[in-house]
Amino acid sequence: MSDATLPDTATPRPVPFRGGGFRPVAKRGVGLAVFVVLLLVIEWGTRAGWIGNLTLPRPSDVGAALVELYQSGMLWTHLGPSLARLAVGSLLGISAGIGVGVLIGLFSYIRAGLVPLVAALFPIPKIALLPLFVIWFGIDEGSKYALIALGTFTPTVVSTYGAVDNVDRALVRMGQSFGLGWWSIVRKIILPGALPGILSGLRVSLAIGIILLVAAEMLGAEHGIGAYVLQAGSLYDLERLFAGVVILSALGVVTSWVIGLVEKRLLRWRG
Amino acid sequence: MTTFTRRGALGLAGGAAVLPLLGAPALANTKTTVGALRFTSHAASFVAFERGYFTDEGLDVDFKFFEAAQPMAVAIASRDADFGVTSITGGLISLAEKGAAKVIGGALSEEKGIDGQMILASNAAYEAGLTAPDQLDGKTFAVTQPGSSFHYMGAKIAAAEGASLSFKPLQKVGAIIGAMKSGQVDAWTIVPHIGKALTGGGAVQQIGMVADYLPGYQVTTLFTSAQNAENDRAKTEAFLRAFSRGADDFNAALVDKTAGDDAAEEMVKLVHKYVYTDRPYDKAKPSIVNGAMRINKNAALNMASVEDQLGWFKSEGLVKDSITTETLVDSSYAEAI
Amino acid sequence: MDLTLANITHHYSGLPVLQDISLHIPAGQILCIVGPSGCGKSTLLRLIGGLERPDEGDVLQLGAPPPDCLNPLTYVFQDFALLPWRTVRGNISLVLEDHGLKGAEAERIISDVLARTNLSDFGKALPRQLSGGMKQRVAIARALAVNPAAMLLDEPLSALDAQTRELLMEDLLALWARQPFTGIYVTHNLSEAVRLGHSIAVLSRRPGRIREVITIDTPPPDRRAGDARLDEVQAHLWSLMRDEAKAADQELLNV
């Protein structure tokens, strides 16, 4: 045993650092950079030829298609009807969904009766029902509203009754202990308490609404972003197809942002 | 090299009948995939397969069946199929523009005197006064998709009558039939074997014929990948020869009816192997006979009609203005009429 | 208003949790209920306040509550039970609204109870901005707003740290000294019971039975640390509970 192998006990040494890592840190701009790099690579690839023109459109051409769409005024011709369909359809579906969801959350009989029905409706591909809706509600706006309404209805019901179930029962007991009426408890405790869950459910519901917008515009729509995308697809016009997809994504980002604003406003108490 | 040049020349000049008399085929068991729809209009391929005309040419053919023309065009572009028959659609033109597909010949044509595509009105619209195409102004017209052949026909009829139509995309022929029966749309055009079945049952009314507006309309064309058209000339010519023999048999049996009743009966039986297979022969027969439209001899292509169609797609902004007939058609294979 | 519990027995899904409990709480006095965890203390409190119905026995009110009393039996909960989306004033206003008290009259009551609990400056704050002790003071202010005939306090200090507990205990004693209220105070903390209770009921572990009721004659506000009688009571309570607590601790949590 030589001295060299023994730790030097006389000199003080700093404690080695063993912590750190394993904690996500907000890095600004990285997401945007990834996006930009991806677009640049695709642009380069399509120009150099190692990405075939059947595989992906050139990003600059997609941009040009968007500009052309805007300058020709067709953007609003397509966006207007689509926004109206999305607004009316999801308004119907979401308000009915919140109503039914609250009823399921409050009444055991309604829960027992409707939860299996909602579970049965949820996985039905609503697109498959489109021909039926055309017969029920007509080929014009009625069937499109119905499709989007049904599509947003089921997820809203599920998230709403889940949110009602998750309201702190201690708060309800508090309300009862102070002699609050049934309606007061629903209005002042259950509904505000369920609001965060309902709003985050709306994000999902509205995204489904946008997906179904394209499906709704398959039948009998002359104008609309969905019709535009489908037309570009059937013409194998990749630039316009992607331009439409960009608009749909933007629509998704905007609705998500609006819900974020509503959340910020209505849920200020969460901090 | 000399062999197949001679054969190609003979194939075009001498027609199909003499070809089996020639020696061994230039190609030996070349695997070939042919896209087809289960429609009477695709009968020439079925005849060529069943009667061994493909094998005579050394082609080992597999059929790949599609539900609609559009995916077939995409399958050719992606090289999942070698040859196909479909109408000229915006999608096909766009694929040609991207250097993925080429029209190499003509198939189904409108011809006065032979029952062709019909103009239909829904019962509700008919009762409201849509009894002839000149009443179309302000009506709705069903199409599968914008840029489909239905869209082209509707627009050309409307232009001839000075009518303004609103086009309703319904994606599938089945959906259109439902919408026509329930009066959700006013008018439509369709091939006779479907149209006659509908009018026969009183579900819709016939108000005219497409041939009156688009005489010589080149309804469907033969097409292949640009790769085949350019680099695999032997195979492409072999396919065209075999297809033309099938077409001649079909025309003789069911369109010109020069081959006699037995040949007609035999032809219907052959086609029934592929078309209306879910129906008993007795029920399928009238539909097959009704659906018989002329398939161009030697896959000749009506260039005037092709140019008219291309021009319309361009004028509607459905395809790029820069596309020329040369981009779409490889005219080195079939004669133009 | 006096409260009387007569032979209360209660089960949860067939398992007895409380057996034959009889107690009397005179007006203006505080009864502390202590016992090992799981002895049914909180259940008993819910039975007294009418949030649950006993299987057998009765909870009886003797005499009328005072005329300006809005909610005779009023709880203060361990977890405060404040609505997070309402401000301090809003949380107190909640329990007045249903009694038709709005506007100036409600504002007067709210300001009064906030002053009594030293919260006057925090009326517009949201619960998340408050410390635990402050939250419990809001809950106490809310209870005071309905002018209860009896306060049912369910371990009100258990969720707080030791210093806050001490401060809030002083607040409670001051409130009682100013206007004696009838109180039932459930706790597992023996020193809290000895500080606050006119009488202390000791429950056995499940099923909860009354082992003993101990009375302390010194009025709560006059009790001082180091008082021999109080230490003796606390030691006695511990000796009663020690073995029960040990046994309760080793039970499997199967309910």
Residues B182 and B323 in one domain: no
Report d(CA B36, CA B54) in Å as an integer: 15
**In a mutagenesis test of the A interface, which of C76, C83, C140 is the best target, namely the one with the most A β-carbons within 10 Å?**
C83
Which candidate from A171, A176, A181 shows the least CB-CB separation from C83? A171
Mean pLDDT of A197-214: 92
Yes or no: say if C21 and C5 are a contact pair by the CB < 8 Å rule: yes
Residues B57 and B73 in one domain: yes
Report d(CA A136, CA A144) in Å as an integer: 11
More confident: A52 or B96: B96
Report d(CA C82, CA C129) in Å as an integer: 12
**In a mutagenesis test of the B interface, which of A54, A236, A239, A241 is the best target, namely the one with the most B β-carbons within 10 Å?**
A236
Q: What's the pLDDT band for B319 if we cut at 50, 70, 90?
A: confident
CB atoms < 10 A from the CB of C127, how many?
Answer: 20
**In a mutagenesis test of the C interface, which of A167, A169, A178, A264 is the best target, namely the one with the most C β-carbons within 10 Å?**
A178
Domain architecture of chain C: domains with CATH: 1-66+150-255 (3.40.50.300), 76-148 (no CATH)
Identify whether B132 is part of a domain: yes
DSSP annotation of A15: P
Q: Give the type of residue at C185.
A: Y
Q: What's the pLDDT band for A83 if we cut at 50, 70, 90?
A: very high
Q: Which residues of A86-119 are buried (b: 16+ CB within 10 A; e: fewer)?
A: beebbebbbebbbebbbbbbeeeeeeeebeeebe
Report d(CA A46, CA B312) in Å as an integer: 30
Question: Tokens 């068991």 belong to which residue?
Answer: B29
Q: Give the type of residue at B3.
A: T
Identify whether B335 is part of a domain: no
Of all residues in chain A, the one with the smallest CA distance to C47 is A177
The CA radius of gyration of chain C, in Å to the nearest whole number, is: 18
Of all residues in chain A, the one with the smallest CA distance to B141 is A220
Cα→Cα distances A167→A103, A172, C3, C81, C83, Å: 14, 8, 33, 12, 11
Q: Crossing angle, helix A191-216 and helix A74-106, to 10 degrees?
A: 140
| Residue of B219, B162, B151, B220 lying closest to B188 (CA atoms) | B151
Q: What's the pLDDT band for A133 if we cut at 50, 70, 90?
A: confident
Identify whether B334 is part of a domain: no
Residues 6+ apart with CB under 8 A from A196: A163, A263, A267, A270
Summary mean pLDDT of chain A? 89
Domain architecture of chain A: domains with CATH: 57-270 (1.10.3720.10)
Number of domains in chain B: 2
Residues B174 and B230 in one domain: no
Residues B248 and B198 in one domain: no
Of all residues in chain C, the one with the smallest CA distance to A271 is C128
Q: Which residues of C touch A176 (CB under 8 A)?
A: 51
Mean pLDDT of C139-163: 89
Domain stops at, among B196, B212, B228: B212
pLDDT of residue A172: 93
Assess whether pLDDT exceeds 50 at residue B4.
Answer: no
Q: Give the type of residue at C233.
A: V
The CA radius of gyration of chain A, in Å to the nearest whole number, is: 27
* A189 in contact with C, Cβ within 8 Å: yes
Question: Tokens 């309760």 belong to which residue?
Answer: C248
Residues B105 and B142 in one domain: no
Instruction: List chains touching B (3+ CB pairs under 8 A).
Output: A
- A188 contacts C95? CB cut-off 8 A: no
| Residue of B225, B265, B272 lying closest to B95 (CA atoms) | B225
Identify whether B271 is part of a domain: yes
Of all residues in chain B, the one with the smallest CA distance to A234 is B91
Which candidate from A173, A178, A267 shows the least CB-CB separation from C71? A178
Q: In this predicted structure, which of A244-258, B80-94, B278-292 has the lowest mean pLDDT? A: B278-292
Q: What share of chain B is helix, strand, coil (3-state, %, to 5)?
A: 50, 20, 35
- B182 contacts A54? CB cut-off 8 A: no
More confident: C193 or B18: C193
The CA radius of gyration of chain B, in Å to the nearest whole number, is: 20
Yes or no: say if B106 and B300 are a contact pair by the CB < 8 Å rule: yes
Distance from the A263 Cα atom to the nearest Cα atom in chain C, whole angstroms: 13
Of all residues in chain A, the one with the smallest CA distance to C98 is A180
* A241 in contact with B, Cβ within 8 Å: no
Q: Do chains B and C touch (3 or more CB pairs under 8 A)?
A: no
pLDDT of residue B26: 60
Domain stops at, among B156, B183, B212: B212
Residues B246 and B273 in one domain: yes
pLDDT of residue C62: 85
- Which neighbouring-strand residues pair with C203? C210
Q: Give the type of residue at B213.
A: Y
Residues B140 and B190 in one domain: yes
Which candidate from C74, C98, C126 shows the least CB-CB separation from A180? C98
- A220 contacts B178? CB cut-off 8 A: no
Q: Which residues of A201-239 are buried (b: 16+ CB within 10 A; e: fewer)?
A: bbbebbbbbbbbbbbbbbbbbbbbbbbbbbbbbbbbbbb
Q: Are strands C56-62 and C73-76 parallel, antiparallel or unpaired?
A: unpaired
Of all residues in chain C, the one with the smallest CA distance to A182 is C98
- A184 contacts C99? CB cut-off 8 A: no
Residues B154 and B91 in one domain: no
pLDDT of residue B15: 41
% pLDDT > 90, chain A? 58
* B76 in contact with A, Cβ within 8 Å: no
Report d(CA C140, CA C156) in Å as an integer: 9
* C156 in contact with A, Cβ within 8 Å: no
CB atoms < 10 A from the CB of C36, how many?
Answer: 23
DSSP annotation of B108: B
Secondary structure of residue A93 in the 3-state scheme: helix
- B77 contacts A134? CB cut-off 8 A: no
CA dihedral A175, A179, A185, A190 (to 10 degrees): 20
CB atoms < 10 A from the CB of A84, how many?
Answer: 14
User: Model confidence over B111-120: pLDDT tens digits?
Assistant: 877 778 899 9
User: Model confidence over A21-36: pLDDT tens digits?
Assistant: 888 777 888 888 998 9
- C74 contacts A177? CB cut-off 8 A: yes
Identify whether B1 is part of a domain: no
Report d(CA A261, CA A267) in Å as an integer: 10
Residues B239 and B294 in one domain: yes
Identify whether B84 is part of a domain: yes
CB atoms < 10 A from the CB of A251, how many?
Answer: 20
User: Residue B139 belongs to what domain range?
Assistant: 118-212
Q: Which residues of C touch A188 (CB under 8 A)?
A: 83, 94, 97
Residues B99 and B223 in one domain: yes
* A227 in contact with B, Cβ within 8 Å: yes
User: Model confidence over B193-207: pLDDT tens digits?
Assistant: 788 888 888 889 999
Yes or no: say if C185 and C108 are a contact pair by the CB < 8 Å rule: no
- C49 contacts A271? CB cut-off 8 A: no
- C126 contacts A188? CB cut-off 8 A: no
Distance from the B94 Cα atom to the nearest Cα atom in chain A, whole angstroms: 6
Mean pLDDT of B110-133: 88
**In a mutagenesis test of the C interface, which of A172, A177, A182 is the best target, namely the one with the most C β-carbons within 10 Å?**
A177
User: Model confidence over C209-219: pLDDT tens digits?
Assistant: 888 898 888 88
DSSP annotation of A14: P
- A180 contacts C84? CB cut-off 8 A: no
- A221 contacts B319? CB cut-off 8 A: no
**In a mutagenesis test of the A interface, which of B87, B93, B95, B145 is the best target, namely the one with the most A β-carbons within 10 Å?**
B145
Q: Are strands C30-34 and C182-186 parallel, antiparallel or unpaired?
A: parallel
Which candidate from A177, A184, A193 shows the least CB-CB separation from C98? A184
| Residue of A231, A221, A229, A87 lying closest to A141 (CA atoms) | A221
- A173 contacts C98? CB cut-off 8 A: no
- B185 contacts A139? CB cut-off 8 A: yes
Report d(CA B267, CA B275) in Å as an integer: 12
Using omega within 30 degrees of 0 as the cis cutoff, is the peptide bond preceding A16 cis? Answer: no
Q: Tell me phi and psi for residue B329, to 5 degrees.
A: -115, 135
pLDDT of residue B16: 41
Assess whether pLDDT exceeds 80 at residue C91.
Answer: yes
Mean pLDDT of C30-36: 90
- C94 contacts A188? CB cut-off 8 A: yes
Task: Give the tokens for residue B58.
Answer: 């050394």
Report d(CA A28, CA A44) in Å as an integer: 26
pLDDT of residue B23: 45
Distance from the B131 Cα atom to the nearest Cα atom in chain A, whole angstroms: 22
Q: What's the pLDDT band for A130 if we cut at 50, 70, 90?
A: confident
Q: What's the pLDDT band for B27 if we cut at 50, 70, 90?
A: low
Identify whether B77 is part of a domain: yes
- C85 contacts A192? CB cut-off 8 A: yes
ipTM for the whole complex: 0.86
Summary mean pLDDT of chain C? 87
Residues 6+ apart with CB under 8 A from A106: A164, A186, A190
Summary mean pLDDT of chain B? 84
Task: Give the tokens for residue A243.
Answer: 């331009």
Residues B243 and B318 in one domain: yes
Assess whether pLDDT exceeds 90 at residue C207.
Answer: no
> How far does Cα B211 stand from its chain's mean position?
15
pLDDT of residue C126: 93
CA dihedral A29, A31, A37, A39 (to 10 degrees): -120
Q: B175: domain CATH number?
A: 3.40.190.10
* A270 in contact with C, Cβ within 8 Å: yes
Instruction: List chains touching C (3+ CB pairs under 8 A).
Output: A
Identify whether B333 is part of a domain: no
Q: Which residues of A touch C84 (CB under 8 A)?
A: 269-270
Question: Tokens 């992906």 belong to which residue?
Answer: A56
Assess whether pLDDT exceeds 90 at residue C83.
Answer: yes
Question: Tokens 């299987």 belong to which residue?
Answer: C55
* B204 in contact with A, Cβ within 8 Å: no
- C126 contacts A179? CB cut-off 8 A: no
Most confident range, picked from B87-91, B186-190, C2-6: B186-190
Domain stops at, among B183, B212, B241: B212
pLDDT of residue A93: 96
Q: In this predicted structure, which of A197-211, B19-33, B114-128 has the lowest mean pLDDT? A: B19-33
Task: Give the tokens for residue B299.
Answer: 């896959």
Residues B92 and B132 in one domain: no
Q: What's the pLDDT band for C124 if we cut at 50, 70, 90?
A: very high
Which candidate from A170, A179, A268 shows the least CB-CB separation from C77? A170
Helices (H), B135-225: 149-161, 173-181, 192-200
pLDDT of residue C253: 61
- A171 contacts C126? CB cut-off 8 A: no
Assess whether pLDDT exceeds 70 at residue B6.
Answer: no
**In a mutagenesis test of the A interface, which of C74, C94, C109, C136 is the best target, namely the one with the most A β-carbons within 10 Å?**
C94
- B178 contacts A234? CB cut-off 8 A: no
Secondary structure of residue C3 in the 3-state scheme: strand
Yes or no: say if B117 and B211 are a contact pair by the CB < 8 Å rule: yes
Q: Which residues of A touch C98 (CB under 8 A)?
A: 178-181, 184
Distance from the B11 Cα atom to the nearest Cα atom in chain A, whole angstroms: 34
